[in-house]
Chains A and B, each alone.
Chain A
Amino acid sequence: MPTLVTDHWYDFRDLSNLSRVILEGIDKVAPYELAYIVAPIIGFVAAFVIFVLPSQLFVGVYGERRIIGRMQARKGPNRVGPFGLLQPVADALKLLQKEALTPTAADKTLMWAAPVFFVAPAVLLFAVIPFGPRMVFADVPAGLIFFIAVSGLPVLAAFIAGWSSNNKYSLFGAMRIVAMSISYEVPLVLVLLCVVVFTNTMSLPGIVEFQVDSNLWLIFMQPLAFVVYFIAVSAELNRTPTDIAEAESEIVAGYLTEYSGMKWGLFYGMDIGYALAAAAFASTIFLGGWSMWGLEQWVPPWLLFIAKTHLFYFVFIWTRGTLPRLRIDQLMGFAWKFLLPLAVFNLFLVSLERLWWNESDLGGGIVFIIMAINIPASAIAVYLWARFLGYKPERIPTRPRLVREAGGYVPVEDPAAGGQ
């Protein structure tokens, strides 16, 4: 595909030009070790200035509150700055000057260490995300595995936080989050394995290239994988309806119960960071990354990518604003009995298709045939498996019976007793 993107440093459609120019300049005047040190700094600064910081502050904190405010028939933050846009800054300032309490009976070292453990992986996660065709900070061949590995670390930090607080609610939250992440990691990794089998690569830029080459996003080729990924990742990230680890109405704030001040702020901010990372990862893998059927020639690809990430994050916000929370045994059952078999089924299906693709000589058009097979197959699989597990839609009506006169008992079994 011919590309319109040039190599000029001022071509903002590909920011890697700029950093390359800077690095080459440094290379000329300084020993080459300096470039090694400057390169990551440029990467981090770029990623943070362009993506992480604005997303976190204005989508994660401000946007989430505004959107949920809209859903809840209220205004949301609108006092600090224009339209309340400075609210995240005000929040951060407030948290900074707030006392970070530590209970006397807590394990103080671990309680201080937990937020640090929690923050570090969030920064690492963005290293492998391709923001544009050449805009990936670390093109690790096993980028997908890197992502899985690093996104498993915050669970440990949350566990440490919950355990060290020496609070029963915190311990409950800690146990729940570990149980949840262990359970949901299995279907999550299995559907990512489907992606790897299908695209034949484990590098994230490679997966994007695959989607660009086949002119079709993986969400259409593997809808089931996408659905399982979304559910599993929202469980891993403690987003509603699976936020049992910090279920406010049950265990107060779960593992964060004893945290306050900036220690809590780090957890809060990095929760959003992880959600954004998961959204970025999902848009890389399933939504075609920076590609948009040629539109990336005209619009900066990194903007497309950010838009997709925020779109995915909006779904998180949406579910949070509407859905009630499940119980822990229901969630465990859902992971092991429902998602896991579906993920295995999807792996089986995708492997077969990949074999067929390897053998056949249909060329690139085969992905459309696969799409035509997979979308109905996924729907049928979900439906049949739910039926097999004994699920049936609720039969009892959602409106109570109405009676005219008081007195006496209306038998439960008698459906004709009341009129609707």
Chain B
Amino acid sequence: MSEIVQSEPFVMNIGPQHPSTHGVFRVKATVDGERVVDAEMVLGYLHRSMEKLAEERTYTQNIPFTDRTDYLSSMSNNLGYCLAVEKLAGIEVPPRGQAIRVIMAELQRLASHCMGAGAFANDTGAWQTPIMWFMREREKILDIFEMTSGARLTCNYMRIGGVAFDLPDDFEEHVRALIGPLRETIADGEGLLSGNEIFLARARNVAVIPQELAVNASLSGPMLRGSGVAWDIRKADPYCGYEQYDFDIPIGYQGDAYDRFIVRLEEMRQSLRIVEQALEALPGGPHSTEVPLALRPPAGEAYARIESPRGELGYYLVSDEGPSPYRFHIRPPSLINLSVLKEMTVGGSIADAIVALGSIDIVVGEIDR
């Protein structure tokens, strides 16, 4: 009978200026009433051609660029890039430098997941409350970053061969003061949302990604783990001595938005465990090795990846023995996680599409670079 009464699909732009796209990102959604029948994304509003610019700068000069890709987790980006250069040039990092890197990367993961989990709750309509709770804790983490590196958001702290400066004296005290309240905030956020019927109705069985699709679509990070794939580069391919620390990989049940949310919350708990252990066993010694400022790595290529808060963050560098990389490629987890956007949104309503987009936890700086 439905051919008698027909509705007309029309295109609705979600973005580039939209509260839920978390930046200048646009989804051209073709909707039939409230139902999304097609979704096409339009990127590039924030494209700054970082890969091209990096080919004209020395290896060390490129570190600040990496801050500005995923601006919510600059430490992780620094780390990934430095690991790639170290792999290319064969540089060893002293143990203290590695431990500091681990602490910083995990604090950054906490800060980023605070934002990710909070923003996701905001996208489901929990108006500002969870994100404010998490932002409060994130502020403290950013204060620690400021104390250590002098900057809150774009830290530029890692260096090739270690880190830029040693930790300040009262660093440990501040981090320890952070851990307890953060645990409580995570529990509060979980208490407010995880068992909430409305939240379950909104996030459960929405934007489901089956395991096979998750692997086939090159997803990584909480997206992959939410689908029930036990994959964490910190465990699978440990860098910076992650094998010394005791932590678990949280994995979801069926790959819906809710699973990705609880995986993020649990990852925050695991990160806290790692930070505690790393603080406990913080070795002495130098924080960095001496590396020439105009580093000329031997000709060749290197691909190094880390588990950034959003997934597998890879840096592919090609050297021609020059002072600047011949090719500098970032594997952006946000961008590649977006490749299933259509599968996640088509067939659901607009509200579901927003939840799906929020559950990816995109950072547009990283998508467009």
Task: Consider the complex of A and B and state whether they touch directly, i.e. have CB atoms less than 8 Å apart.
Answer: yes
Chain A residues with a Cβ under 8 A of chain B: 68, 71-74, 168-169, 172, 240-241, 243-244, 247-252, 320-330, 394, 396, 398-412, 418
Taken together as a complex, chains A and B put the C-alpha atoms of A42 and B28 apart, in Å, by 55
Looking at A243, A247, A250, the one whose CB has the most chain B CB atoms below 10 A away is: A250
Do the beta carbons of B352 and A399 come within 8 Å of each other?
no
Selected contact of B201 from candidates A73, A252, A326, A418, CB within 8 Å: A326
Residues of B within 8 A of A240 (CB): 125, 127
Total A-B Cβ pairs within 8 A: 155
Do the beta carbons of A418 and B349 come within 8 Å of each other?
no
Do the beta carbons of A407 and B351 come within 8 Å of each other?
no
Q: Does B172 contact A (CB under 8 A)?
A: no
Taken together as a complex, chains A and B put the C-alpha atoms of A297 and B52 apart, in Å, by 81
Do the beta carbons of A398 and B190 come within 8 Å of each other?
yes
Residues of chain B from 90 to 145 with CB closer than 8 A to chain A in the complex? 121-129, 132-133, 136
- Do A330 and B201 form a contact, CB below 8 Å, given A72-B129, A324-B125, A398-B262? yes
Q: How far is the CB of B206 from chain A (nearest CB, A)?
A: 9
Give 17 CB contacts A-B under 8 Å: A72-B132, A172-B350, A247-B351, A321-B127, A324-B124, A324-B196, A325-B126, A326-B125, A327-B201, A329-B349, A394-B204, A400-B251, A400-B253, A400-B259, A402-B251, A406-B231, A410-B230
Do the beta carbons of A322 and B126 come within 8 Å of each other?
yes
- Do A326 and B132 form a contact, CB below 8 Å, given A250-B350, A250-B354, A400-B259? no
- Do A412 and B198 form a contact, CB below 8 Å, given A249-B354, A327-B351, A329-B34? no
Do the beta carbons of B351 and A328 come within 8 Å of each other?
yes
Q: Does B249 contact A (CB under 8 A)?
A: yes
Taken together as a complex, chains A and B put the C-alpha atoms of A74 and B193 apart, in Å, by 19
Residues of B within 8 A of A406 (CB): 230-233, 235-236, 249
Do the beta carbons of A249 and B125 come within 8 Å of each other?
yes
Residues of A within 8 A of B225 (CB): 400
Do the beta carbons of B132 and A403 come within 8 Å of each other?
no
Do the beta carbons of B127 and A401 come within 8 Å of each other?
no
Do the beta carbons of B10 and A168 come within 8 Å of each other?
yes
Residues of B within 8 A of A250 (CB): 20, 350-351, 354
Residues of B within 8 A of A401 (CB): 228, 250-253
- Do A409 and B211 form a contact, CB below 8 Å, given A72-B129, A250-B351? yes
Q: How far is the CB of A302 from chain B (nearest CB, A)?
A: 32
Do the beta carbons of B251 and A320 come within 8 Å of each other?
no
Taken together as a complex, chains A and B put the C-alpha atoms of A330 and B352 apart, in Å, by 12
Looking at B128, B229, B352, B354, the one whose CB has the most chain A CB atoms below 10 A away is: B128
Q: How far is the CB of A87 from chain B (nearest CB, A)?
A: 18
Residues of A within 8 A of B250 (CB): 400-402
Q: 6 new A-B pairs (CB below 8 Å) besides A172-B34, A401-B251, A410-B230? A: A168-B13, A322-B192, A325-B198, A400-B250, A400-B251, A402-B251
Taken together as a complex, chains A and B put the C-alpha atoms of A402 and B122 apart, in Å, by 26
Taken together as a complex, chains A and B put the C-alpha atoms of A326 and B231 apart, in Å, by 33
Residues of A within 8 A of B18 (CB): 252
Do the beta carbons of B252 and A247 come within 8 Å of each other?
no
Residues of B within 8 A of A71 (CB): 129
Q: How far is the CB of A292 from chain B (nearest CB, A)?
A: 33
Residues of A within 8 A of B349 (CB): 327-329
Q: Does B254 contact A (CB under 8 A)?
A: yes
Q: Does B248 contact A (CB under 8 A)?
A: yes
Do the beta carbons of A412 and B201 come within 8 Å of each other?
no
- Do A405 and B230 form a contact, CB below 8 Å, given A252-B18, A324-B125, A324-B199? yes
Selected contact of B263 from candidates A172, A247, A321, A400, CB within 8 Å: A400
Residues of A within 8 A of B129 (CB): 68, 71-72, 321-322
Q: How far is the CB of B209 from chain A (nearest CB, A)?
A: 12
Taken together as a complex, chains A and B put the C-alpha atoms of A323 and B192 apart, in Å, by 8
Residues of B within 8 A of A247 (CB): 125, 351
Do the beta carbons of B198 and A241 come within 8 Å of each other?
yes
Q: Does B200 contact A (CB under 8 A)?
A: yes
Q: Does B19 contact A (CB under 8 A)?
A: yes
Looking at B126, B193, B349, the one whose CB has the most chain A CB atoms below 10 A away is: B126
Do the beta carbons of B230 and A409 come within 8 Å of each other?
yes
* Chain B residue at smallest Cβ distance from A179: B34
Do the beta carbons of B251 and A323 come within 8 Å of each other?
no
* Chain A residue at smallest Cβ distance from B17: A252
Q: Does B58 contact A (CB under 8 A)?
A: no
Residues of B within 8 A of A74 (CB): 132, 136
Q: Does B195 contact A (CB under 8 A)?
A: yes
Q: How far is the CB of B230 from chain A (nearest CB, A)?
A: 5
Do the beta carbons of A409 and B126 come within 8 Å of each other?
no
10 nearest A-B residue pairs (beta carbon): A325-B125, A72-B132, A406-B235, A406-B236, A398-B194, A402-B248, A400-B250, A324-B126, A324-B124, A324-B125
Taken together as a complex, chains A and B put the C-alpha atoms of A73 and B266 apart, in Å, by 22
Residues of chain B from 194 to 217 with CB closer than 8 A to chain A in the complex? 194-202, 204, 211, 215
Do the beta carbons of B229 and A327 come within 8 Å of each other?
no
Do the beta carbons of A399 and B254 come within 8 Å of each other?
no
Do the beta carbons of A412 and B254 come within 8 Å of each other?
yes
